[in-house]
Amino acid sequence: MSLAVPTDVAAPVEASRRRTFAIISHPDAGKTTLTEKFLLYAGAVAEAGAVKARDGRRRATSDWMALEQQRGISITSTVLQFTYRDHVVNLLDTPGHRDFSEDTYRVLAAADAAIMVLDVAKGVEAQTLKLFEVCRARTLPVLTFLNKYDRPGRDPLELLDEIEVRIGLRPTPVTWPVGVAGDFRGVVDRRDGSFVRYQRTARGATAAPEERLDPERAATEEGDVWRQAREAIALLDEVDATLDVASFLAGESSPLFVGSALTNFGVRHLLDAVVDLAPPATPRSDDNGLPRPLDAPFSGFVFKIQANMDPAHRDHVAFVRVCSGRFLRGMTLVHGPTGRPFSTKYAASVFGAERDTIDVAYPGDVVGLVNASGLQIGDTLYDDDPVAFPPIATFAPELFVSARPRDTGRHKQFHRGLTQLEREGVVQVLRDPDGDPVPVLAAVGAMQFEVFAHRLAHEFGAQVDLSPAPYKAARRTDRQTVEHLRQVPGTRVLTRADGSLLALFDSPYRVQRLEQDHPDWHLEPVLGVGVRS
Ligand code: G4P
C-alpha cells in the first residue's frame, strides 16, 4: 500500500494536546507509585498495581532485566502514553537507581517538562540535585510534588527553604496540606481557597473520594488543623510564594503540590497541573537555532537506543522524539547524518518489552523504531525538508576503568559487545591511538559499568574484567598539545568514538597547574551538563 504524502496541518493542533514530561526523584521517593496513580486517575487502569504487574512480566522476559531484579532497580527507560482530559500525556520514565547515569540525562533531552518528587521526610537528596542541574541547563519547567505527607515528615515550610537554597528554584505552592503528618485530611487549592477533603481507600487502589468544602465549613469541621493551614498560607502570601506561570516556564519557579501518592491525596491536582500548567510540544530549534515549525514535514531525533530488549528477538530499538509533522508508520524518512533512506515499517510504542504497533504520532510523542541498527543517539530523521537538531549533550566522565576480556578466546564477542554498548551510550569507550589494545571505559555513574559488564556477559557471551584506571579528571585536547602532554607524568591521551582526543589526568590539581602554567595548551573542559558539542 502506498501512503499519501502527509499533510501536516493537524500537527500543531495535536502538539497543543501533548504533554511530554519525565518524573525525576531520588529512589524510593515514590515515582513508581505516582506513575501508577496517574494511570488510575486518567482511567488507563481500573486499579493501581498495573504498572508493577507489567513490570513483573517485563522482568520475566529478559535476562538483562535480571540485573534490575537483583538490585531492585529499574535500568531501562520506558515511555508511557495515556490520555487525560482530552490531552495526550507522554510520561518518559527515567532510570530509578541510586546511581545516576547518562541515560537519565538523555531522557530529559526529549521531555518538555519534569515533575520533581520529593519525600517530605527527606527533602532534597543528592540525586535530585544532579538531575535538577540538567533541568536547569535545559530551562525545563519543573513541577514539584512533596510526597508521603500521610506519614511523619518535615515541616513543609522548611522544605520550601531547602528547595530554594539548595536547588535555586523558587517553590510556589499551589496546594497546601490540611492536617498533620499521620493525620492528613486534604489540600487547600490556593488559587481559589477551596479545600478538598479526601477519604482513604484500601491500599489506595482506587481513587480517593473527594469532598469540596468552603472555608466556613472547613473551619467548623477541621478546627485547629484548618487554622494552622490558613496561617501557613498567610505566610506564603506575605512572601509572595504564589504561582507565577511565566517564571515557571522560564525554569525559575516551581509550582508545588503536596500529597500522598500512596493514598492518592493531591494526585488529581498534580495531574491537572500537567495539563493546565506544563507546556505543550512547541517548535524545536535546529542546530542553527531556527525553530522547526510544528506543521513542517516530519522530523524527530533519537534520544535513546536499546538493544536486546527482548532476547528472543535480539533487536535494537531507537526511541525517537517527534518534533514536527506527522509520523505515519511505513513512511520512508531520511537519516540525517548519512542522507540514506530509513524505513519505518517496524514502528512501535514501547513500554518495557511490551509493544503496540504505532500508526501515527505527532510532536511530543515518542516512537520506538525496531531493528534500527543504523541509528545513533542524537541522530535526526526527517521527511522531505532537511533539518538537523543539535546533538544531545555528552557528559564529563568522572569515573574510569580499564576493560579486558577474561577469556582471550572470546575476543571477537568482547569487541562486538563493546562496539554495540558504546553505540547505545551505556559507557563511553576511550581507545589508545598508539596501540594499547585495552580500552578505558568512562562514565558518569558507577552503575553504568555494572550494566556494561552484565550485558557483555549475558548478551554477547564475553566476561569482562574491569580494573580501576587511575584517572580523576579529563580534558579535550588537540594534536599539538598531545606532544607536550607526552612529557607530563600521570597523564594519558585517548580517543573517543567521535574522533576527539581526551586527555586523562591522575589528579584535578595537576590539570589546574597545567592550565595555569601553559595557557597556550589546548585543555578544554569536557562537555558538562547541558553544554552542546
Ligand atoms: P520509586 O519509584 O521512587 O523508587 O518509589 P516507589 O514508588 O517504589 O515507592 C517507594 C516506597 O515508598 C514504596 O514502599 C511505596 O509504597 C512507598 N510510598 C510511595 N508513595 C508513598 C506515600 O505517599 N506515602 C507512603 N507512606 N509511602 C509511599 P515499599 O514498602 O518499598 O514498597 P511496597 O511494598 O509498598 O510496594
Nearest CA to ligand 1 atom 19: 30
Are 41 and 33 in contact by the 8 Å Cβ rule? The answer is no
Tell me if 452 sits within 8 A of 460, measured CB to CB. Answer: no
Class of CATH domain 17-276: alpha beta
Across 358-408, the runs of DSSP E, i.e. the strands, are: 360-361, 366-370, 380-382, 399-405
- Atom of ligand 1 minimally distant from the CA of 33: 7
Nearest Cα neighbor of 322 from 338, 309, 305, 303 is: 303
Residue 219: predicted pLDDT? 92
Give how far Cα 418 sits from Cα of 188, 431, 462, Å: 54, 11, 10
Q: Which residues lie below 8 Å from residue 243, measured CB to CB, with a gap of 6+?
A: 172, 174, 190, 191, 255
CA–CA separation, 380 and 391 (whole Å): 9
Ligand 1 pocket mutation, candidates 33, 36, 203, 258, criterion most atoms within 8 A of CB: 33
Substitution candidate for ligand 1 out of 131, 257, 262 with most atoms within 8 A of CB:
262
Please say whether the beta carbons of 300 and 294 come within 8 A.
Answer: no
Alpha-carbon distance of 428 to 103, in angstroms, equals 12
Tell me, in angstroms, the distance from the centre of ligand 1 to residue 34's CA. Answer: 9
Distance 21 CA to ligand 1 centre (A): 21
Rounded to the nearest angstrom, the distance between the alpha carbon of 427 and the centre of ligand 1 is: 30
**Closest residue CA from atom 9 of ligand 1:** 30
**How much is the pLDDT for 256?**
98
User: What confidence score (pLDDT) does residue 437 get?
Assistant: 83
Name the residue among 504, 368, 533, 363 with its Cα closest to residue 18.
Answer: 363
Q: Look at the block and give the residue holding cell 508511557.
A: 80
Atom index in ligand 1 nearest the CA of residue 26 equals 3
- For ligand 1, the distance from its centroid to the CA atom of residue 186, given in whole angstroms, is 19
pLDDT at 47: 67
Q: How far is the CA of 33 from the centre of ligand 1 (A)?
A: 6
In the chain, CATH 3.30.70.3280 sits at 399-525
| pLDDT score of 309 | 58
In this predicted structure, what is the pLDDT of residue 71?
Answer: 40
CA of 494 to the centre of ligand 1 (A): 44
pLDDT at 505: 93
Distance CA 305, CA 256 (A): 33
In single-letter form, the type of residue at position 509 comes to Y
Query: Among 416, 33, 435, 428, which residue's Cα sits nearest to residue 262?
Result: 33
Query: How many CB atoms are closer than 10 A to CB 141?
Result: 24
How high is the pLDDT of residue 100?
Answer: 57
Pocket (CB within 6 angstroms of ligand 1) = 25, 27-33, 96, 147-148, 150-151, 260-262
Q: Residue with the nearest Cα to atom 11 of ligand 1? A: 28
Which CATH superfamily does the domain covering 399-525 fall into? Peptide chain release factor 3, domain III (3.30.70.3280)
Q: How far is the CA of 378 from the centre of ligand 1 (A)?
A: 34
- Distance between CA 344 and CA 324 in Å, rounded? 16
Can you give the pLDDT at residue 136? 83
Q: Which of 28, 55, 74, 257 to mutate to test the pocket of ligand 1 (most atoms within 8 A of CB)?
A: 28
Q: Are 73 and 28 in contact (CB under 8 A)?
A: no
Nearest-atom index, ligand 1, CA of 29: 3
Task: Find the helix packing angle between 447-460 and 411-423, rounded to 10°.
Answer: 130
Tell which residue, 193, 239, 186, 183, has the closest CA to residue 216.
193
CA 265 to each of CA 184, 260, 438, 439, 443: distance values in angstroms, whole numbers, following the listed order: 9, 5, 54, 51, 39
Cα of 263 to ligand 1 centre, how many Å? 11
pLDDT of residue 422: 87
DSSP string, 400-450: EEEEEESSGGGHHHHHHHHHHHHHTTSSEEEB-TTS----EEEESSTHHHH
Instruction: Please tell me the distance from the alpha carbon of residue 112 to that of residue 139, in angstroms, as a whole number.
Output: 10
DSSP conformation class of 44: S
- What pLDDT was estimated at residue 62? 36
The DSSP element (H or E) to which 212 belongs, if any, is: strand 210-213
Distance (Å) from CA 269 to ligand 1 centroid: 20
Asked if 319 contacts 151 with a C-beta cutoff of 8 angstroms, the reply is no
Q: Atom 4 (ligand 1): residue with closest C-alpha? A: 28
Across the chain, which has 533 residues, the per-10-residue mean pLDDT values are 56 96 88 88 72 41 42 50 92 65 81 95 85 83 96 92 93 95 90 91 86 92 94 94 96 96 96 98 95 96 77 72 93 94 75 62 90 84 95 80 92 91 87 86 86 90 94 91 93 87 92 94 69 32
Q: Which CATH class is domain 284-382?
A: alpha beta
Q: How far is the CA of 282 from the centre of ligand 1 (A)?
A: 34
Ligand 1 atom nearest the C-alpha of 52 is: 36
Please give the pLDDT value at position 448: 84
Delimiting residues of CATH 3.40.50.300 domain(s) in the chain: 17-276, 284-382
Query: Is 447 exposed, middle or buried (CB count within 10 Å of its CB: 0-12, 13-18, 19+)?
Result: buried
**Distance of CA 67 from the midpoint of ligand 1 (Å):** 21
Nearest ligand 1 atom to alpha carbon 36: 7
Atom 25 of ligand 1, nearest CA residue = 148
491 CA to middle of ligand 1, Å?
Answer: 46
Regarding pTM above 0.85, the answer is no
- CA 12, 92, 71 angle in degrees (round to 5)? 175
**Cβ atoms of residues 160 and 129 within 8 Å:** no
- Residue 115 parent element (H or E): strand 113-119
- For the chain, how many helices (H) and strands (E)? 14, 31
| DSSP structural state of residue 391 | P
Backbone angles phi, psi at 443, to 5 degrees: -150, 170
Helix (H) or strand (E) holding 84: strand 79-84
